[in-house]
Structure 1
Amino acid sequence: MPRRSAVVLAVCLAAAFTTLLDQASMTTAVPSLRSSLGAGPVTTQWILAGYSLTFGLALVPAGRLGDRYGRRGLFAGGIALFTLSAVLAGTATEPWVVAAARLLQGAGAGIVNPQVYGIIQDLFTGRDRARALGAYATVGGVAGVIGPVVGGVVISLAGPAHGWRFVLLLTVPFGLLTIPLALRLLPRPTTVRRTPLDLPGLALLAVVTLGLLLPFVLHPATLAGAVLGLAALLWWERRCPAPLLLPELLGSRGYTLGVLTAMFQFGASLSTTLVLVLYLQDTLGWSPLRAAVTALPSALGFACASWQSWRVVGRFGRRGVACALAAAVTADLATVVIVNNGIGGQAALMATQLAMGLSGGLIVSPNQALTLAHAPAAHAGLAGAFLQVTQRISATVATAAVTGIVLTRSSTAALVVCAALMTAALICSLLDLRGGYSRSAERRRFETTESSFRS
C-alpha cells in the first residue's frame, strides 16, 4: 500500500489499541480501586460497564457525523475527550467521579473508533481493505487480552494503594501523542456529504441499551424499558425514510449471524477475564502480578493464533471459526470446573487461558472480515459500526451481570453465564454454516473474501 496510507493506518491502529487497552487493563485494577475508594457493588458495576455503554451509544452517531463532516476533527476530538477523562478518573478521590469519568471516556472511544472504520473504507480497496480491517480486528483483540497483564504489572510496581491510578493514566501519553499526529496526517474533509442521521432511531437504540443494563445495577423491572424501546424502535424503523436498521443488512443471513456470533463471543471473552481476575484477587487473595501471570498465556496464545488465523480461515472458512468457538466453550467449561472444585491450581487455569487465547485469535479477525464481506458496499461503514455496537452492548450487559453475580453470589455462577454466552456464539456460527450461501451474490462476496485470505 502507499506509504502515506500506511502511516495513516498506523495512527488509526494506535488510537484503536489505546482505547481498547484501557477497558481491558481496568479489570485488574478494580479490586485495588474498590479498596482504596470504598466503592460499593453498584458503583463498581458502573465503573466497569459504563465505559462500554457510552462507547456503544456513541458509535453510530459518530460514524454518521464522520461521513457527513469529515473524520479528522472527530478523530482528534474523541482522543482529546478520552485523554482528559482518563486524567479525571486517575486523579479522582470519590468512586462516583471515577464512574462519571469512565462514561465520558467511553464516549470518547466511541467517537474515535468509527472514524477508524471510515478512514479504512476511504483509503483502501480490495485486498488492502481486507488486510487493514484484519489489522484493526487483531489490534483490538491483542489489546483486550494483554490489558489484564499490563494492569497487573503496573499495580505490582506502583503498589495497590495508587497502582489503579497509574492504570487509568496509562493511556494519557499515547493520547497526547496521537492528537497532533492525527491533526497533521489524517486527510482533511473536502466536501460535506448529505448523510441522513436517524435521531429518533438513535434515541430509541439508547433506550434499549440502557434498559438492558439497568436491571443489573438498579432493579429487574427496568428490563421492561428495553422491551418497550425495542418495540418502538422496530415500529419507527419500518416508517423512517432513512432507517438506522438497514433492510439490506438485516436481510443478509451471513451478516446477521456473523454479528450475533461476534456479539456473544466478545461479551463472553471480556467477562470471563473479569470474573477470573476478581476470583483470583478477591477470593484467593492473589497479588495483581500473580493474577496477571495467570492470564498471560491468553495474551500469548491470541497473538500467535492471530498471525495464522488467515491461513486457517482461508482453508476452512466458517468451519474454522466454528471449531475455534467449540474450543473456547470447552475452555470456559474447564475453567468452571477448576474454580468450583479448586483442582489443578494456577497451572490448570493457565492451560485454560492458553486455550482461550488460541481460540480467540482464530475467531475475532476472521469472523469480522467474513461478516463484513456480506454487507453491501454502499453501507460498509455502517455495517462495521453496527458490528461494534452489538459487541459493546454485549460487553456492557455481560460485564454488569457477571460483576453483580461475583459480588453477590459466586465466581462459579458467573463463569457459567460466560460459558452460556460462548455457547450461544457457537450456535449462531453453526447456524450460519448450516444455512450455506445459496444466494449467488452472497456466495461471490464470500469467495472473494476467502481468496484474499489465502493470498
Structure 2
Amino acid sequence: MSDDRTAPEAYTPDPRRWRALSVCLVAGFMSLLDVSIVNVALPAMQAGLRASAAQLSWIVSGYALTFGLVLVASGRLGDDRGRRRMFVTGLALFTLTSAVAGFAPNPEVLVAVRLVQGVAAGLLSPQVVGFIQDLFRGPERGTAFGMFGAVVGISTAVGPLLGGLLLSWAGDADGWRWVFFVNIPIGVAALVAAFRLLPADTVTTGERRPLDLGGSVLLGVAVVALMLPLVLAERDPASAPWWLVAVSVAALAAFVAWERRAKRVHGHPLIDFALLRTRSYAVGASLGTVYFAGFTSIFFVLTLYLQNGLGYTPLQTGLTMTAFALGSAVTSALSGRLVARFGQPMIVVGLATVMVGLGVTDLVLAATAHSPWTGLAIAGPLLLAGAGGGLVIAPNQTLALSEIPHTSGGTAGGVLQTGQRIGTAIGLSAVGAVFFGRLTASGGDWADAISHGLLITVGLVALALVLGVTDLVAARRARGRGTPVTATGGR
C-alpha cells in the first residue's frame, strides 16, 4: 500500500453522489434484512416444506456463513477490479437467488440457494462502504456513514416486522415465499438505478494488482472453520464441531505467514497489515466485533421469547421490535453529522445507553412475565437501547475508516464487516447456549431463559464499552504527553 493516509487527495465531488448513495443503501438494506427477516418465517417454512430442525438452522446460518466467507476477498476485488462491476454482479445474483428461493420446492433446494444468496450479499456489502469512501470526504462522509448505520440498525430490527406483515398478508401456507419474493422488484429497480447513478469503474488493466488466491483460500478456511461451530451451536452447543476452532487458528496463522510472504514477493497481499497498525482502524474493528455480538443477539432471544414463550404472532413480535428500529434510525442520522465534533465520547455514551436500555428491558420483562401487556411495556426501554445503538454503529465505522485511503475502502470495509459477522455468530452462539440451557434446566420457564439470555447480551455490550472507554482514556493520556492523536476525541 502506498503511504497516502496522510497525503491530501485530489477530490471533485460527484454531483450524483447522494443519489448513488441511495442505491447503495437500498441494496445494503436488502442484504442485511435477509439476516433477520427469515427468522419469523421459519415455522411456516417448516410446515410448508416439511423441513427438519437441522434444515431450518441451515436456512438461517448458511446465509450468514457464506456472507462472512467472501467479504474480504470481494472488498479487495472491488478496490482492484471496479466497485460498480462487483456491486452489480452481487445485486444481480442476490435478486436471482431471491426468486429461486421463493420458488423452492423442497428444503434441500432452499438451503443450497441460501448459501449462494449469502455469497451474493458478501459480494455486494463491501462495495457500499467502498463507494462511501470514494464519493464523500470530510463531514459529508460522516453523514453518509450515519445513513448507512441507520440502514444497519433498521434492517436488523425491522426484519421481524416486515416478515410478520408478509405472513399476515399472504397466509401461513405460502407466506414465507414472499419473504424472498419481496426482494425481486426492489432488486431489479436497484439494478437499473445502479447503471444510471453509480460512477463508472476507472481501473485499467495496467493498474490491476494480482489476486492473492492463496490468501483468499486460507482466510476463507479460517472464517468458515470458526463460524461453522458457532452457527451450529445456537440451539445445541454440545453437538457443534468445536474441533474446527483449532483448524481456524491454524489456518489463520498460515494466512498471516502467507500475507507477509506476499508483501515481500509482489507487494499486493489480500490484507495489508498496515491497516491494522492504524490505531483508529484496529480499535474500531475490535469494538464493532464485540458490539455486534451483543447487538444482534437481542433480537434472537426476544423473538423466541415473544413467539414461543408468550404466543405472539410474527406480526405482533415485529411490532414490538419496531421501537428499537425507530430509536436507531433517528440517532444514526444525527450521529453521522456529529461524529467529527464529538468523536469517541459519543460512542461511549451510546454503548452506555444501550446497556441501560437492555437492563431496563430485562427488569420490565421480569415484572410483566405472562402479562398481555409485555410487548407494550418493553417498547420504551427498547426505544432507549435503539437510540444508544444509533450512536455506536455509524460513528464507529466513520472513525475506523477515517485514516484509511479511499483506494483501500472496500478491503477495509470487508475486514470490518467480517468482524461484525463473526461477532454476530459468537453472540448468537453464547446467548443461544445460555437461553436454551436455562430453558431446559428450568423445565420450560421462558421468563427465566430470557432473563439469563439478556444478561449475556448486556455483558457483551459492556465489554464493548470497556474497549471504548480504554481507547478514550489512552487518547487523553497521549494528548497529555503531547503525542499526536486524531482530532475526533478518541482516535
Normalised to the residue count of structure 2, the TM-score between the two structures is 0.83
What is the DSSP-based 3-state SS (H/G/I as helix, E as strand, rest coil) of the residue aligned with 1:197? coil
1:74 equivalent in alignment to 2:86? yes
Q: CA deviation at 1:287?
A: 0.8
Q: CA deviation at 1:108?
A: 0.8
* Residues 397 and 81 of structure 1: CA distance in aligned 2, closer, same or farther (over 3 Å): farther
What is the DSSP-based 3-state SS (H/G/I as helix, E as strand, rest coil) of the residue aligned with 2:51? coil
Q: Which of these residues, 305, 316, 321, is aligned with residue 295 of structure 1?
A: 321
Does the 8 Å contact 1:51/1:105 carry over to 2?
yes
Aligned to 2:358: 332
Q: Which of these residues, 347, 351, 357, is aligned with residue 376 of structure 2?
A: 347
Residue range with higher mean Cα deviation, 205-214 or 241-250 = 241-250
Cα distance in 1, alignment partners of residues 36 and 251 from structure 2? 30
Cα distance in 1, alignment partners of residues 483 and 88 from structure 2? 38
Aligned to 1:238: 260
Does the 8 Å contact 1:213/1:400 carry over to 2?
no
1:126 equivalent in alignment to 2:138? yes
Higher fraction of helix? 1
Count of aligned pairs: 449
Q: Which amino acid aligns with 2:485?
A: R
Q: CA deviation at 1:277?
A: 0.9
Does the 8 Å contact 2:146/2:337 carry over to 1?
no
Cα distance in 2, alignment partners of residues 310 and 115 from structure 1? 19
* Residues 208 and 289 of structure 1: CA distance in aligned 2, closer, same or farther (over 3 Å): same
1:207 equivalent in alignment to 2:236? no
Cα distance in 2, alignment partners of residues 22 and 353 from structure 1? 22
Cα distance in 2, alignment partners of residues 100 and 30 from structure 1? 16
Q: CA deviation at 1:78?
A: 0.8
Does the 8 Å contact 1:405/1:414 carry over to 2?
yes
Q: CA deviation at 1:173?
A: 0.9
Q: Which of these residues, 74, 99, 103, is aligned with residue 91 of structure 1?
A: 103
Q: Output one character per residue of 1:404-450: Cα deviation in whole Å (capped at 9) or x when no partner.
A: 66566534344343233222211221221121163889624636x99
Q: Output one character per residue of 1:57-90: Cα deviation in whole Å (capped at 9) or x when no partner.
A: 2222222222222222222221111011112222
1:221 equivalent in alignment to 2:243? yes
1:269 equivalent in alignment to 2:295? yes
Map residues 21-100 of structure 1 onto 2, 5 A cutoff: 21-100=33-112
* Residues 39 and 433 of structure 1: CA distance in aligned 2, closer, same or farther (over 3 Å): farther
1:366 equivalent in alignment to 2:380? no
Q: Unmatched 5+ residue regions in structure 2?
A: 1-12, 233-239, 440-448
Q: Which amino acid aligns with 1:431?
A: T
Cα distance in 2, alignment partners of residues 401 and 91 from structure 1? 34
Q: CA deviation at 1:340?
A: 5.9
Q: Unmatched 5+ residue regions in structure 1?
A: 451-455
* Residues 119 and 214 of structure 1: CA distance in aligned 2, closer, same or farther (over 3 Å): closer
Cα distance in 2, alignment partners of residues 112 and 441 from structure 1? 39
Q: CA deviation at 1:403?
A: 5.0
Q: Which amino acid aligns with 1:422?
A: V
Cα distance in 2, alignment partners of residues 105 and 402 from structure 1? 26
Q: Which amino acid aligns with 1:418?
A: T
Aligned to 2:285: 259
What is the DSSP-based 3-state SS (H/G/I as helix, E as strand, rest coil) of the residue aligned with 1:249? coil
Q: CA deviation at 1:311?
A: 6.0
Q: Output one character per residue of 1:131-176: Cα deviation in whole Å (capped at 9) or x when no partner.
A: 3333223223222222222112222222222222111222111111
Q: CA deviation at 1:221?
A: 2.4
What is the DSSP-based 3-state SS (H/G/I as helix, E as strand, rest coil) of the residue aligned with 2:253? helix
Does the 8 Å contact 1:212/1:397 carry over to 2?
no
What is the DSSP-based 3-state SS (H/G/I as helix, E as strand, rest coil) of the residue aligned with 1:247? coil
- The alignment-based identity, stated in percent, is 39
Q: Which of these residues, 139, 159, 168, is aligned with residue 156 of structure 1?
A: 168
Residue range with higher mean Cα deviation, 177-186 or 412-421 = 412-421
Q: CA deviation at 1:92?
A: 1.9
Does the 8 Å contact 1:258/1:428 carry over to 2?
no
Cα distance in 1, alignment partners of residues 40 and 105 from structure 2? 19
What is the DSSP-based 3-state SS (H/G/I as helix, E as strand, rest coil) of the residue aligned with 2:270? coil
Aligned to 1:453: none
Give RMSD over aligned pairs: 2.8
Q: Output one character per residue of 1:203-240: Cα deviation in whole Å (capped at 9) or x when no partner.
A: 22222222222324242222222222222223333333
Cα distance in 2, alignment partners of residues 73 and 301 from structure 1? 35
Residue range with higher mean Cα deviation, 117-126 or 144-153 = 117-126
Cα distance in 2, alignment partners of residues 313 and 362 from structure 1? 9
Cα distance in 2, alignment partners of residues 313 and 306 from structure 1? 10
Q: Output one character per residue of 1:269-294: Cα deviation in whole Å (capped at 9) or x when no partner.
A: 22211221122112222111111121
Q: CA deviation at 1:8?
A: 2.0
* Residues 251 and 3 of structure 1: CA distance in aligned 2, closer, same or farther (over 3 Å): closer
Q: Which has the larger radius of gyration?
A: 2
1:421 equivalent in alignment to 2:460? yes
Aligned to 2:488: 446
Does the 8 Å contact 1:48/1:399 carry over to 2?
no
Aligned to 2:445: none
Cα distance in 2, alignment partners of residues 147 and 391 from structure 1? 18
Cα distance in 1, alignment partners of residues 119 and 455 from structure 2? 30
Normalised to the residue count of structure 1, the TM-score between the two structures is 0.89
Q: Which amino acid aligns with 1:384?
A: G
Q: Which amino acid aligns with 1:178?
A: A
* Residues 114 and 213 of structure 1: CA distance in aligned 2, closer, same or farther (over 3 Å): closer
Q: Which amino acid aligns with 1:243?
A: P
Q: CA deviation at 1:263?
A: 1.4
* Residues 336 and 404 of structure 1: CA distance in aligned 2, closer, same or farther (over 3 Å): same
Does the 8 Å contact 2:91/2:191 carry over to 1?
yes
Q: CA deviation at 1:378?
A: 5.2
Q: Output one character per residue of 1:103-143: Cα deviation in whole Å (capped at 9) or x when no partner.
A: 11111111112222233333333333333333223223222
* Residues 402 and 41 of structure 1: CA distance in aligned 2, closer, same or farther (over 3 Å): farther
Q: Output one character per residue of 1:8-60: Cα deviation in whole Å (capped at 9) or x when no partner.
A: 22222221122222223223223332343343443333222222222222222
